[in-house]
């Protein structure tokens, strides 16, 4: 028996045929654009490590909201840079802090924009860790460690402050155990039973957060985050983290970073029946920008390709600093 010559190129011949058989699409409606609200500023401050991204004022957030809407981008995620920091992250739940003020102003101007808030204390603690510290058990030389359960109280207060200001989705990124359950209980008791939680369930201890730590001024003053963020070598643990967060009441899951963890996005997507987001983080963005500035790659094509790969891996939406540029090119 002889087979006809197989010719997959038949379906690549014209742009029209390629469009017809394309399996994955990327749309501005899939993007979430991060904003850094700094209440000490009076004008935008460019972030050196992230060309094209700036810290902005509360008023600036309103302009961004309007721009996102005009580009068809449906959502933003807010990070706050407060006037004051202390060792307990008190300003994280100040109702007049940068995030609650920005939410109120943006909701007034563009009510349909989905506002997600990052809930974590690292931007609000003077030591830069994602939790409240206590002396490390067993340490003789005064080392400190993150106190999981003390941190949950601060996170819950922060989430409620964001909810009261009008946030649409609460996204805890701290990686404390039990935080989704704690936030769910706190939000329910405060009357926000219908407010969804997007859990950064699978967050790795990654070198690719480097530029963000300048953006959000939250680099840890000592040590690292390996005691609470995940080991890049682990994938079964990703499924476990995701399952625990769903059991505690998470409505959506996020995998972070995106590109070095496309396999994890796929596994989480296949294992659970909830929407899965991916965070294309600051270091991933900075690499593209640096290579493009050096004339080494075609930025627009590279960005389209990488966003497509994240969708193809199974992400329903992508948090990305490329959102505005990509929306203009799509
Ligand atoms: C913690 C947080 C981080 C990022 C988002 N939320 C930094 C960290 O864990 O050190 C990183 C995002 C990025 O790199 O773009 N609040």
What is the count of structural domains for the chain? 1
Average pLDDT over residues 117-135: 94
Q: How confident is the model at residue 141 (pLDDT cuts 50, 70, 90)?
A: confident
CATH number at residue 286: 3.20.20.70
Dist CA 236 CA 160 (whole Å):
32
Contact 273, 292 (CB under 8 A): no
Assigned domain for 18 exists: no
Let me know if residue 11 belongs to a domain.
no
Please give the mean pLDDT across all residues of the chain. Answer: 96
Q: Catalytic site residue 328?
A: no
Instruction: For 58-101, write each residue's pLDDT tens digit.
Output: 999 999 999 999 999 999 999 999 999 999 999 999 999 999 99
In a domain, 4, yes or no: no
Three state DSSP letters for 30-42: HEEEEEEEECCCC
Contacts of 188 (CB under 8 A, 6+ apart): none
Considering the entire predicted model, what is its pTM?
0.95
Per-residue pLDDT, 1: 66
Domain contains 1:
no
Q: Is 306 helix (H, G, I), strand (E, B) or coil?
A: helix
Band (309; pLDDT cuts 50, 70, 90): very high
> What pLDDT shows up at residue 139?
87
329 close to 31: Cβ distance less than 8 angstroms: no
Closest atom of ligand 1 relative to the 203 alpha carbon: 9
How many of the other CB atoms lie within 10 Å of CB of 4?
5
Q: What percent of the chain has pLDDT over 90?
A: 92
C-alpha of 277 from chain center? 9
Ligand 1 centroid – CA 141 distance (Å): 29
Ligand 1 site, residue 212, Cβ cutoff 6 A: yes
Residue 2 covered by a domain: no
| 256 given a catalytic annotation | yes
What does the pLDDT read at residue 142?
A: 86
Residue 12 lies in a domain: no
**Domain, as residue range, for 251:** 24-329
268 in any annotated domain: yes
Which residue's CA is the closest to the ligand 1 atom numbered 1? 173
Q: What is the pLDDT of residues 280-306, one digit of tens each?
A: 999 999 999 999 999 999 999 999 999
- Which ranges of the chain would DSSP assign to H, the alpha helix? 15-21, 58-71, 98-109, 148-165, 179-189, 210-215, 236-247, 262-271, 282-293, 299-312, 323-329
For the segment 153-204, what is each residue's pLDDT rounded down to a tens digit?
A: 999 999 999 999 999 999 999 999 999 999 999 999 999 999 999 999 999 9
Q: Which helix (H) or strand (E) holds 316?
A: none
* CB 204 less than 6 A from any atom of ligand 1: no
Atom of ligand 1 nearest to the CA of 285: 15
Q: Is the CB of 201 under 6 A from ligand 1?
A: no
Asked whether residue 124 is domain-assigned, the answer is yes
């Amino acid at each position: 028996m002889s087979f006809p010559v197989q010719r997959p190129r038949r379906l690549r011949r014209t742009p029209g045929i390629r469009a017809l058989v394309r399996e994955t699409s990327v749309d501005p409606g899939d993007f979430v654009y991060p904003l850094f609200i700094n209440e000490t500023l009076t004008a935008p401050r460019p972030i050196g490590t992230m060309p094209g991204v700036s810290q902005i004022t509360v008023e600036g957030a309103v302009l961004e909201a309007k721009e996102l809407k005009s580009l068809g981008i449906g959502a933003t995620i807010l990070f706050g840079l407060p006037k004051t920091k202390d060792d307990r992250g008190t300003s994280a739940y100040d109702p007049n802090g940068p995030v609650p003020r920005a939410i109120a102003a943006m909701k007034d101007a563009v009510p349909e924009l989905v506002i997600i808030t990052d809930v974590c204390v690292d931007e609000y603690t003077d030591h830069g860790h994602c939790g409240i510290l206590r002396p490390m058990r067993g340490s003789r030389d005064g080392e400190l460690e993150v106190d999981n359960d003390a941190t949950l109280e601060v996170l819950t207060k922060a989430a409620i402050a964001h909810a009261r200001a009008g946030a649409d989705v609460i996204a805890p990124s701290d990686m404390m155990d039990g935080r989704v359950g704690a936030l769910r209980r706190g939000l329910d008791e405060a009357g926000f039973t219908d407010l969804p939680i997007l859990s950064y369930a699978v967050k790795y201890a990654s070198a690719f957060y480097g530029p963000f730590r300048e953006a959000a001024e939250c680099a840890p003053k000592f040590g690292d985050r390996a005691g609470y963020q995940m080991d890049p070598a682990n994938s079964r643990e990703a499924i476990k983290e995701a399952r625990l967060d769903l059991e505690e009441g998470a409505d959506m899951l996020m995998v972070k970073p995106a590109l070095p963890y496309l396999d994890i996005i796929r596994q989480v997507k296949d294992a659970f029946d909830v929407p899965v987001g991916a965070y294309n983080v600051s270091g991933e963005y900075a690499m593209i920008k640096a290579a493009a500035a050096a004339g080494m790659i075609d930025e627009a094509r590279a960005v389209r390709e990488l966003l497509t790969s994240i969708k193809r891996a199974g992400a329903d939406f992508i948090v990305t600093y490329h959102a505005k540029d990509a929306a203009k090119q799509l």
